[in-house]
Structures are given as C-alpha cells and as structure tokens.
Structure 1
Amino acid sequence: MDFTQLGRTGLKVSRLCLGTMNFGPHTSEADAHAIMDAGHDKGINFYDTANGYGGQGHNGRTEEIIGRWFAQGGGRREKTVLATKVYGDMANNWPNSGRLSALSIRRNLDASLKRLQTDYVDLYQFHHVDRNTPWDEIWQALEVAVTQGKVLYVGSSNFAGWHIAQAQAAAEQRNFLGLVSEQSKYSLLTRAIELEVIPAAEHYGLGIIPWSPLAGGLLGGVLGKVEGKRRQQAEAIERHRPQLEQFESLAAELGHQPGDVALAWILAQPAVTAPIIGPRTMDQLDAAERALEVKLDDKALGRLDEIFPGHKTAPEDYAW
C-alpha cells in the first residue's frame, strides 16, 4: 500500500480510504469487523465514518460498530487514522442537536467519542457548511477540542471553494491550522469541483478526499445489468449510456475492470489524497485494491477526458 501526506500536514494516510457508510444498514457487524481487519491487512490505515451513519432512525450505529471493533484491541485503534463527521441532526429536530454551533460541536464530539470507544479523533470533519454559525464560533469550539486532545486535525465536506477560503481566512486570524482536507463528490462523471473547490484546496494546502468515486456504481461496469436496478439508477444508466459504452469499451481495451480504471483515474489526479471506497463485502474491498496496480498513461488519461470532459480551473473555464 502506498501512503501520502494528508494535505499540508505531516500525517501519512493510505491512498485508499475505507468508508463505513454501509456498516449497519447493508453490512452486518461481523462482516464490517472482518472488512476493517482485512483493510489493515492490506495496509489501509485511513477509515472514514460520520455520526449520522447507521441507517434511517439509527444515527450513530456505524460509529458504535467501529467502537466495538476498536475495543477488541490488537492495535486496531493505534493503526487507524480515524475520520468522523459532525453536522446532522442527532435528536429528531430538537434545538442544538445538529449543525455547527459551539454547543452542537461539543455535545456531538463527546457522543462520537463515546460510541467510537476512543478518546480522540484524528480528523474531525464538518459534514456540511453551516451558514448560520460564524466561523469565529466554530473555530473557538475546535480550538478547545484540540487543546483537550479530543481532535487532532479538522476537515470539511461538501464545501464550495469560497467556503474553504472563508474558513481559512478566519482560522488564519486566530493563528489556527484550520482545514487540512475537503471531502467532495468527485468522479469521472461528476467533475464540478475542478472549477473552484480543487483550486481552493490546492491553494490552502487541503487534501481532496473524493466520495462516490464510482458515481454510485455507474462506473463499475453496469451495462447489461439494468434489469433489477432501482428506477433512479436505471434512468441514470440510460442517461449516460453513450459515455458508459465508450468507457467500458476502453476499460476492456486496457485489460482492466471499469471500476478499476475509474479508481485509477481518481488516484492519478494531483490534488487527490485518497478516494473513499465503501465496500459492502470483502469482494468489493479486494476489487478496490486492484485499482492501485492500474497505471494509466497519458494517452489513456486523454481518452478518458474525451469521454468525460472535465473543467479547467477557475477562471479559465468561464472567463477569458
């Protein structure tokens, strides 16, 4: 397994990040524990979760599954760079149970630590921007958490480029490290973050952690498998069929599975730290690992850009 720095920090993380959103709703606890053990065996040290994961009506269940895995010992916690998130409502619309007020951050961080059975989080991420809470309040709450040793680094998720700039300007005024990563939806099919999020992240030294790198499975080799798909996914397949036909044909020509090519493309993007893989099964974990062995040359990367046109960074894509 290859490792890289997380943004401008000295923290080393694996080039694949093990996402846990399926643990609980779709993957049993026993299977989840086996997948996390296998992740360590493969050299994956970067695991991502959120306080809201667990399935409808079961917020926090995924963190509890991870906590019971840590409790087994054997160096599991020590080997893991643990990332979780805060923002979602954790108490059925009761005031101050979600978002990023100082009170919400304090309560939700302590609740996550209890569920995770650990005394600190390596990377604490804002799951969304909170337009109603000033950055001075947010950073003050995180300064307290860092001083207490409960949080080491802070990241964002689903931020626009100007949100990153706003956050970093406020952090700089407080002589605080600020954000070190941004977790965004990014794949060959979804490249909007190339406009402003990636340029902002690169300027401020944030590592990009792409979620849904296979575009909800559309880049995993879906043609001929439309029957039995949910209507929404079947409609997406038909909407993108011309591109998917070219993509799957190119993958076959390169001698690789479509999903391996899609992950290899993400890994080849300079701003990307580690894409999040969300295996439901051990086979899916094994499949993701294959992508690390796929090397795409300039010709293959160029053909992928032709099939899935991306964006030049701002302002070149919309201004002269």
Structure 2
Amino acid sequence: MEYTQLGRSGLSVSRLVLGTMNFGPETSEEDSHAIMDHAHEHGINFFDTANVYGWQQGEGVTEQIIGRWFARGGGRREKTVLATKLYGKMGEWPNENRLSALNIRRAADASLRRLQTDYIDLYQMHHVDRNTPWDEIWEGFSVLRLQGKVLYFGSSNFAGWHLAQAQEAARSRHFLGLVSEQSLYNLASRWVELEVLPAARHYGIGLIPWSPLYGGLLGGVLRKQREGATVRSNSGRAAQVLEAGRDRIEAYEKLAVDLGADPANVALAWLLHQEGVTGPIIGPRTIEHLDGALTAVDLKLESEALARLDELFPPPGPNGAKPAPEAYAW
C-alpha cells in the first residue's frame, strides 16, 4: 500500500480509503468485520463512515458495527485513521441535524459512543450548512479539538467558494481549518476540476473522491451485462449516462482490455494520477470486491492512456482542457 499526507496535515493515510456505507444495509456485521481486518492486512489505514449510514434514523448502524469491531482489540483502533461525518438528520426534533454548535456537540458525543472510542481522527461536515455562520461552526469544532475528541476537520460536497469561506474564517481564528474535502469525482463526472479541486490545492486540502466508479458505470458494466450479472448501473443517474454514452463506455472498456486491467481499476488509478487527490473511497460489499480494488494502487497509466481517457471523458466546459475561468470563458 502507498501512503500520502492528508492535505497539508502531518497525518499519513493510505491511498485507498475504505468506505463503510454498505456495512449494515448490504453487508452483514460479520462480513463487515472481516473486510476491515482484510483492509488492515493490506495496509489500508483510512476508514470513512458517517453517523447516518445504516439509514435507520438516529441509530448510527454502521458506526455501531465499526465500534464493535474496535472493541475486539488487537490494535484495531490504533491502526485506523477514523473519519466520520455529521450534518444528516438523526432525529425528528429541531437541532438534531446540520451544523449548529449544539448539534456539533451532541453529534460528536453520540458518534464517539457508537464507535467505542474517545477520539475521532477526521470529523467531516457532510454538507454545507447555509444557515449557520462560520464563526459558530469553527467555535464548536475548536471546543472538540481542545477536548481532545477530534484531531482534524474536513468537508464534503462543498463548492470551491465554500472551501474559501471556511478556510478564511478558520484563518481569522488562527485555526488549522479543513484538511480534506470529499467530492463526487470520477472520469464521468469531472465538474470539481473547474473550481473545487483548484481551491483545494490552493488551501492544502486533500481531495477524497466518492463514487469513483460512478455507481458502477466505470466498473465494466457492459461486460457484466453481457455475462448476465446484476449491476448497479441499471438504474439511477449512472443508467442515464450509460444510455446517452454507450459507445463511449464500450470504448473505455476496450481500452481497459488493451491495458490488461479491470475497468474499475483503471478508473481508480486515473484518480490516483490527479494532482491533489488523496485517495478515492472504495465501498466493497465483499472481500472479493476489496481484493479487486487493491491492485489499482500499482496500476501506472502512461501518458498515452491518460490522453485517451481525456478524449473519452473530456474535462468540463467548452474549453475544458483549460483551467477556470478559461474553461468556460475567454
């Protein structure tokens, strides 16, 4: 496994991030524990979750599964860089969601109880809160930091100007601010390259792509359809993209064959080649899925392959080969 620094922090994290969203709804607790053990065996130390995962309001099902895994001992907690999130609705009463100082305090304590740990390595805002001032957010977070309950802070689904707002507010308080941003980023959805990724690079914020396979679209969907396998890309946003660009996906899968690689690993490797990317989140439902993703770290894409991928999945904007604002202006 390869490691890198999380943004401008001194924290070393694996270049693949173990996403746990499937733990509970799709993967049993026993299998979830086995996947986490297997991840450690292969050097993955960066685990990502959220208080809403498990999708039973207020229960924190996935965090509880991870907490019981930590409780088994064997250095599991000590070896793990633990990231969780707050913002989503955890109850029916007011102040049981978003980023008020009150919810920050309550949500952090609840996650710590479920996770059976006394600190969170990376505490992330799952979404921007347009109703709470940054002074209040950073005040709430600074208390957690002083209490030793949280070490680093991150964001998810922020626009570039939100990152700038957050960092300038943190700077005024002489606070480290954000060290990471989780964004939708993959070959088929490159919008973050216009504003989010440049802002993250400028502020030393590590980008953590979620949905690196775009709901399975980039994971060999056409091959799997031919083989009669059930694929996630048969519905939702990925299905619409597939319908509109079947020829492009066909060419992409052919390129993967020419490279002697699985399409999913080409998509992951491409992200690992992008400046400013810490590592994509992989969300294995089985150990076999995890094993398949592990080889992506060793897949080096030559300039010809990268150029061909840009042809198939061009950067956003009419002048997408250029940075913003030239990408969409003169």
Into which bin does the TM-score normalised by the smaller protein fall? Answer: over 0.9
Change (3 A) 1:142 1:58: closer
Retained in 1: the 8 A contact 2:86–2:126?
A: yes
Match of 1:223 in 2: 222
Rounded to whole Å, the distance in 1 between the matches of 2:21 and 2:4 is 23
CA deviations over 1:170-221 (Å, ceiling 9, x no partner): 0000000000100000000010000000000000000000000011110000
- Which of 240, 249, 272 is the matching residue for 2:245? 240
CA RMSD of aligned residues (A): 1.2
Could you tell me how far 1:57 is from its partner in structure 2?
Answer: 4.2
Equivalent residue letter for 1:22? N
Rounded to whole Å, the distance in 2 between the matches of 1:14 and 1:308 is 27
Retained in 2: the 8 A contact 1:47–1:82?
A: yes
Could you tell me how far 1:236 is from its partner in structure 2?
Answer: 3.7
Match of 1:195 in 2: 194
Matches within 5 A, 1:276-295: 276-295=281-300
Equivalent residue letter for 1:211? W
CA deviations over 1:219-270 (Å, ceiling 9, x no partner): 0001154465544354442222121011001101111111111111011111
Rounded to whole Å, the distance in 2 between the matches of 1:260 and 1:148 is 41
Equivalent residue letter for 2:129? D
Retained in 2: the 8 A contact 1:195–1:314?
A: yes
Match of 2:254 in 1: 249
Q: Which runs of 5+ in 1 are unaligned?
A: none
Rounded to whole Å, the distance in 2 between the matches of 1:292 and 1:164 is 28
Rounded to whole Å, the distance in 2 between the matches of 1:302 and 1:7 is 27
Match of 2:266 in 1: 261
Could you tell me how far 1:56 is from its partner in structure 2?
Answer: 4.4
TM-score w.r.t. length of structure 2:
0.94
Rounded to whole Å, the distance in 2 between the matches of 1:236 and 1:201 is 27
Stretch deviating more after TM superposition (217-226 or 68-77):
217-226
Retained in 2: the 8 A contact 1:223–1:237?
A: no
Q: Which segments of structure 1 move beyond 2 Å, counting only runs of 4 or more?
A: 55-59, 224-237
Rounded to whole Å, the distance in 1 between the matches of 2:117 and 2:83 is 12
Stretch deviating more after TM superposition (307-316 or 195-204):
307-316
Match of 2:66 in 1: 66
Identity %: 67
Could you tell me how far 1:315 is from its partner in structure 2?
Answer: 1.5
TM-score w.r.t. length of structure 1:
0.97
Equivalent residue letter for 2:7? G
Structure 1 residue 107 corresponds to structure 2 residue 110: no
Rounded to whole Å, the distance in 2 between the matches of 1:36 and 1:49 is 12
CA deviations over 1:81-109 (Å, ceiling 9, x no partner): 000000001003x1000000000000000
Rounded to whole Å, the distance in 2 between the matches of 1:273 and 1:235 is 29
Rounded to whole Å, the distance in 1 between the matches of 2:83 and 2:323 is 28
Could you tell me how far 1:71 is from its partner in structure 2?
Answer: 0.2
Match of 2:161 in 1: 162
Match of 1:319 in 2: 329
Match of 2:12 in 1: 12
Rounded to whole Å, the distance in 2 between the matches of 1:196 and 1:235 is 25
Matches within 5 A, 1:62-101: 62-92=62-92, 94-101=93-100
Match of 1:119 in 2: 118
Could you tell me how far 1:119 is from its partner in structure 2?
Answer: 0.4
Rounded to whole Å, the distance in 2 between the matches of 1:165 and 1:235 is 33
